[in-house]
Amino acid sequence: MEYIIIVISAVLVNNIVLAQFLGVCPFMGVSNKVSTAVGMSGAVTFVMVLAAIVTYLIYTLILEKLGIVFMQTITYILIIASLVQMVEIVLKKISQPLYQALGIFLPLITTNCAVLGVAILVIKKEFNLIEGVVYSAATALGFGLALIILAGIREQLELADIPKGVKGAPVALIVAGILALAFMGFTGIV
């Protein structure tokens, strides 16, 4: 039951991009088409879960043991950047089609603050490793859900008669605000 609460909370109630405002840059930048939103969601999910596992282990096995938890943020940034680069290299060698599909999005993930935010939140919320993995996967799912919904709406808005002054980014911000309000409706669930 505890894992279900973590999932519902991360996906709907405390959505990483709509409630906590982490990962807004890729949220706005990659939400023009549903196909790119799906690709980015998959890449973020993979990297977010992998980063949560590695950063949790580094924190508990090295930083805590040595008493240097103040190095958490810089260590996490280096770990995430290294992980993204290693994943990119391995995918290029092992699976060229998967690299072609995710290759565009992998460098963008290096600067996605949602990945760093989740790694820090796993420790801050005092999750164990399994809870941290569930939380990071659910958070990535919530990020993907919000991204795909916004992309679908933006694709439909291309067909609508919108005043010239609000086309593009302004209407995307308005829609993102309405999405955030809609997701606030889930607040009483958990």
Task: Round the average pLDDT of the chain to a whole number and report it.
Answer: 89
Q: Does 154 fall in a domain?
A: yes
Contact 156/77 with Cβ under 8 angstroms?
Answer: no
111 sits in the region (left: phi over 0; alpha: psi -120 to 50; else beta) called: alpha
The token duo for 144 is: 């993907």
Lowest mean per-residue pLDDT among 126-135, 145-154, 181-190: 181-190
Is the pLDDT assigned to residue 15 strictly greater than 70? yes
Q: Does 101 fall in a domain?
A: yes
Give the pLDDT of residue 168.
85
The token duo for 123 is: 């420790």
Position 181 confidence tier, pLDDT thresholds 50, 70, 90: very high
Highest mean pLDDT among 49-53, 112-116, 168-172, 184-188: 49-53
Q: Does 190 fall in a domain?
A: no
Total domain count, the chain: 1
Q: Does 115 fall in a domain?
A: yes
The token duo for 138 is: 């659910």
Is the pLDDT assigned to residue 9 strictly greater than 80? yes
pLDDT digits (tens, 9 = 90+) for 85-136: 887 888 788 877 777 766 677 777 777 889 999 999 999 999 999 999 999 9
- Per DSSP, 165 falls in state G
Give the pLDDT of residue 129.
95
What is the Cα–Cα distance from 101 to 40, expressed in whole angstroms?
9
* Burial class (CB within 10 angstroms; exposed 0-12, middle 13-18, buried 19+) of 38: middle
Domain containing 79 equals 2-184
pTM, two decimals, is 0.88
Q: What is the DSSP string of 39-83?
A: HHHHHHHHHHHHHHHHHHHHIIIIIHHHT-GGGHHHHHHHHHHHH
3-state secondary structure of 158: coil
Q: Does 189 fall in a domain?
A: no
Residues 1-9 have a mean pLDDT of: 91
What is the Cα–Cα distance from 69 to 63, expressed in whole angstroms?
5
Residue among 176, 171, 149, 141 at smallest CA distance from 25: 176
Residues 135-156 have a mean pLDDT of: 94
Give the pLDDT of residue 103.
65
Give the pLDDT of residue 116.
93
- Looking at residue 159, its amino acid is L
